[in-house]
A and B are shown apart, each in its own frame.
Chain A
Amino acid sequence: MRIAVTVKQVPETGDVKMDEVTGTLVREGCESIMNPLDLHAVEAALVLTQNHGGEITVISMGPPDAERALREALSMGCHQALLITGRAFAGSDTWATALALSHALRQCGPFDLILCGEKATDGETGQVGPELAALLDVPLVTYVGRIVEVQKGKIIASRYLEDGCEKIEADLPALLTVVRAVNSPRLPTLRGKKAARSAGISHLDESQLGLDPERIGLRGSPTRVEKIYRPQITRTSRIFHATDEKKAQDAVEEYITFLREKGVLR
């Protein structure tokens, strides 16, 4: 099987700092890691190639430093890595990201399977996978919590939905987005780490991908982030101390009133 996994480099913590004056994110002093959900996509690819043979290509779009996320995937056992990088890609929204990834996947393909994380922890959109499937015109299976089997040009997987679990059969090539429950990612081996350190990572820019500069980066992005700000804390924080039985009863009474005010009790 030839598998492609898309991985994104994201800031490490949820506590990203913001410049209150300019309203932009402060990336300095913030460690970057591979998007945690993409580790699960990498793991799923590794398991599949262990069972069926084949090769895994990991692809990322980002600054040159995103090579580190790719090397992590290589150290886990992936075979090749590609980085789409260049100033012109800065400011890409999900559409422009999916477009650039689709060009790279076409150029380096064909692939039997493309795996993406459900969503990235920074943007949290979860849109790149489905958009990529649409641009490549391959069947899309989202929210995959279990890969059951691959055989005779088909993949069987379970999707975790709000009201239950849906078992799907899809023709290959297909694109899957995976959720955490799909597996537990392995740790890189020492040997893997060593090999990854010196592995060559190919860089691709817009001209190598045959992309019109008008269609990439901020210029090619249909959406514009106009402003970012801290959410106002609207929590009212009414706290009741139920120190005796009477106070406990009062507190419960207040809670009922609260639920009614908020439309929870009708």
Chain B
Amino acid sequence: MAEANGGRLKDVSFELLRWGKTLSETLEEPLTSVVLGHGVGESETQALIERGADRVLKCDHPALSCASVETQSRALSVMVLQENPSVVLASATTTGRSLLPHLAAKLGTGLTADCTELFIDEKTGDLIQVRPAIGGNIMARIRTPHHRPQMATVRPHSALPLPHNPSRRGEVEVVPFHAEWEDTRVRRIDFTPSSQDEGIRDAEVVIAGGAGMRKGENVSMLRELANLLGGKVGASRTAVDRGWCAYPQQVGLSGKTVTPRHYLAVGISGAIQHLAGMKTSETIAAVNNDPDALIFKVADFGIVGDVFEILPLLIDRLRKESHHAF
């Protein structure tokens, strides 16, 4: 499943193709990317082929672009029954995590949520689905031995997309939308995009600040860093309680769980309630002046030092970096 937003494909679609590609090569089956939506252009579907898909099935209709899980699930179930794939994957986003269970229940097959790794068992040809459970304290290996298709949602940022390969060829098939697929029981009546700092759940990089930031004004340094690294600003509960950041930015037990490619904790002690929301990030770095801060226990990279010394140096250094890049 590719995921589109207003005609543009989201990055997670390409990450998913990397997993799909490895599996399809082992199974010696073609890799099909399914695009349900409205107004997804040719350059977008071409990009799916250049980044791993052998085929693209595209169904384009206004009814597929919003709200109704039922409409998408009907369209998809018809395609799955026709194509008979051995594996169906979607990203573990709010969309994928709503659509796939709906589809799995209709098809009467199993589904594994939020996988971080997928591979084929060479002996049986079964898909092995690996996922963290219980706050990342335990990993589980799951298989779907007797039901097909085998279905999984895959955690965003668990793989890097394959590079563009302009010489790859593949076909794009247009699937006509059937009027009876449309379910009008759920309707979108409004949409408010989140502000720049709020969309931390699917950010690639999260720069989070805590009590160590000392003042609300200093959060601007985090924003600057986030801009330089292409990320969003997150916060500990203390930073939110003090009004320096907004609640949608809170990471942790009573805030959001994030799994970005990189999480930088600045002036955050690493209380267990905070760790609960970020410890399964792919890489973690921390800046804290207390060498015994718990955050260092989960960090891949740590700087023991003063925020107000380190951050200006880092911002300066990254600015130079981005000058080089352009």
Contacts and interface: CB of A to CB of B under 8 A. Distances in A.
A242 B310 contact: yes
B134 A124 contact: yes
Given A14-B276, A134-B106, A262-B262, A228 B97 contact: no
Interface of B is mostly: mixed
Contacts of A95: 104-105, 108-111
Contacts of A127: 97, 100-101, 104, 111, 113
B314 interface: yes
Contacts of B220: none
Interface string B162-188: 000000000000000000000101111
A169 B304 contact: no
A235 B299 contact: yes
A227 B140 CA distance: 6
Nearest to B121: A226
A204 interface: no
Interface residues of B, number: 90
A229 B133 CA distance: 10
A156 B144 CA distance: 37
A159 B262 contact: no
Contacts of B79: none
Contacts of B186: 139-141, 168-171, 174
A201 interface: no
Interface stretch (B48-56, B198-206, B208-216, B234-242): B198-206
12 contacts: A127-B113, A131-B111, A164-B193, A169-B189, A180-B254, A235-B284, A236-B301, A255-B303, A262-B282, A262-B283, A264-B204, A264-B229
Interface of B: 5, 66-70, 73, 93-95, 97-106, 108-114, 128-129, 132-147, 160, 183, 185-194, 199, 201-202, 204-205, 229, 247, 254, 261-262, 276, 282-285, 291, 296, 298-306, 309-310, 313-314, 317-318, 321
Lowest 10 A-B CB distances belong to which pairs? Answer: A222-B110, A242-B305, A223-B110, A134-B105, A130-B101, A167-B190, A131-B105, A125-B113, A127-B101, A222-B147
Interface of A: 14-16, 18, 25, 93-95, 98, 121-135, 139-143, 156, 159-171, 174, 180-181, 221-231, 235-243, 245, 248-249, 251-256, 258-259, 262-265
